[in-house]
Amino acid sequence: MNHPMRTVDDHLSDILRTVRTLAPLEVDLDQALGTTLAEEVTSPVPLPSFDNSAMDGYAVRAEDLATVPAKLQVLGDIAAGAGRTLAVGPGTAVRIMTGAPVPPGADTVIPVEWTDGGTVEVRIDRQAPEGNAIRRAGEDVSAGQAVLPVGTPIGPAQLGILAGVGRRRVLVRPRPRVVVISTGAELVEPGAPLEAGQLWESNSYTLAAAVQQAGGEGYRAGIVADDPARFLDQLDAQLLRADAVITSGGVSMGAYEPVKEALSPLGTVRFERVAMQPGMPQGFGVVGQDQIPIFALPGNPVSSFVSFMLFVRPALLKMRGLAAGPPYSVRGVTTAPLRSPQGRRSYLRAVLGHDGAVTPVRGQGSHQLAALASANALIAVPEDVTELPEGSNVEVIPL
């Protein structure tokens, strides 16, 4: 009855071979946060697009300050946004604000703090090198220069430069929309009263939040009891708005395993045992006309979360058009001895300190959600290792 288990790496490879990068879509800048750029963005103009002042002060000719204090006639003001401007000639200055265009004839800006602040005539007490406090046209970007390459994840600074080069719309790989369905007759929405044998449903909150943090849009589609037909109905209804589906529960060896019972006959979803702890029972495949990827994760809360980090997150990165592979990991040194099952790669919940010391938390059961919530990392223990003494150098996946 027990088939050989698949390795974690093989299971991830299958998943990454199957999932497709989402098609590019033109979106408004307001919708672009968290998407991935699908075009190279260039600037139509130099940035800054004109020489402008970096300080509030006076635009002058450096040669007029050969001796200081110097007195210059003030011709007027130039504020930011000013169009045609006054010209500065010998013995004159123009009061200028930060961001305002440097007037013709001026080659230097003197901060107001170095002057008496005069508006008709100004006394300047300090010299400055020619070009002082002037931000030159094109010193950030030249006209036609690429400012963001294809494949850039769009965060706050990237949105800034997109707006800064005048873009209103942009071609991106969108955030994957991921529907999360929880299965189990015992599950009750948090906030509702519990009856005997029931527990508050938590996986959909964890998984939808994990989707969000992985750059997708997570939607909780509620709880389906242990009826395969109802599960298929719910899945059908949700497929309309999904780029991927995550289910939790109903995939192991019990008498009521709705996800497995509903999806196995389709022939496009494979259920298998992966050589890991937690998260051994795993289902993955595609469903519906559009071959939407579906991740059927085990119901135990820690198992579903660890499965997400190892398998679903990399898949979402690929869908977003980003580099995808096993989770990022660092090295750590254990502060306590560890045990791990033979033949399965284990992912022990742990606290990783800034010094690289890593301590497994108390409570390594697949149901021990509070222990998971106290951890900030997973220690990955290889398949063939069953015991490690304190002080061992280990692979650690920050959460």
Contact residues for ligand LQZAQKY5 (CB under 6 A)?
A: 182, 184, 186-187, 199, 201-204, 248-254, 257, 278, 280-281, 298-301, 303, 366-367
DSSP 191: T
Rounded least distance, CB 54 to ligand MOO, Å: 59
- Looking only at the bridges linking them, the beta strands covering 244-248 and 292-297 are parallel
CB 369 within 8 A of CB 302: yes
* Residue matched to tokens 């289902």: 283
C-alpha dihedral sign at 109, 112, 116, 119: positive
In this chain, which of 303, 334, 346, 368 binds ligand MOO, going by CB under 6 A?
A: 303
In this chain, which of 182, 238, 366, 368 binds ligand MOO, going by CB under 6 A?
A: 366
Q: Is 298 in the site for ligand MOO (CB under 6 A)?
A: yes
Rounded least distance, CB 254 to ligand MOO, Å: 13
Element (H, E) at 319: helix 313-319
Q: Which residues sit opposite 181 in a β-bridge? A: 247
- DSSP for 86-108 reads ----TTEEEEE-TTPBPPTT--E
- The item of ligand MOO, ligand LQZAQKY5, none sharing an interface with residue 186, based on CB under 5 to 8 Å by kind, is ligand LQZAQKY5
Stretch that binds ligand MOO, among 57-65, 207-215, 271-279, 328-336 (CB under 6 A): 271-279
- The item of ligand LQZAQKY5, ligand MOO, none sharing an interface with residue 301, based on CB under 5 to 8 Å by kind, is ligand LQZAQKY5
Q: Which residues sit opposite 248 in a β-bridge? A: 182, 297
- CB-side neighbour CA atoms (13 Å) of 1: 1
- Tell me how far apart the alpha carbons of residues 120 and 76 are, in angstroms, rounded to a whole number: 8
In this chain, which of 277, 334, 368, 392 binds ligand MOO, going by CB under 6 A?
A: 277
Q: φ, ψ for residue 268 (rounded to 5)?
A: -110, 0
C-alpha dihedral over 40, 45, 47, 50, to 10 degrees? 180
Rounded least distance, CB 392 to ligand LQZAQKY5, Å: 25
Q: Which two tokens stand for residue 269?
A: 């979803």
Rounded least distance, CB 261 to ligand MOO, Å: 19
Q: Is 314 in the site for ligand MOO (CB under 6 A)?
A: no
Nearer to ligand MOO, 95 or 273 (CB): 273
In this chain, which of 101, 278, 283, 321 binds ligand MOO, going by CB under 6 A?
A: 278
Nearer to ligand LQZAQKY5, 126 or 230 (CB): 230
Terminal-residue alpha carbon distance, the chain: 35
Q: Which amino acid is at 263?
A: L
- Looking only at the bridges linking them, the beta strands covering 36-37 and 108-111 are unpaired
Rounded least distance, CB 300 to ligand MOO, Å: 4
- Tell me how far apart the alpha carbons of residues 185 and 190 are, in angstroms, rounded to a whole number: 15
Q: Is 53 in the site for ligand MOO (CB under 6 A)?
A: no
Total chain residues near ligand MOO (CB under 6 A): 8
Give the contacts of 240 (CB within 8 A, at least 6 positions apart).
none
Nearer to ligand MOO, 219 or 308 (CB): 308
Nearer to ligand LQZAQKY5, 60 or 187 (CB): 187
Rounded least distance, CB 298 to ligand MOO, Å: 4
Rounded least distance, CB 203 to ligand MOO, Å: 12
What is the binding site for ligand MOO (CB under 6 A)?
277-280, 298, 300, 303, 366
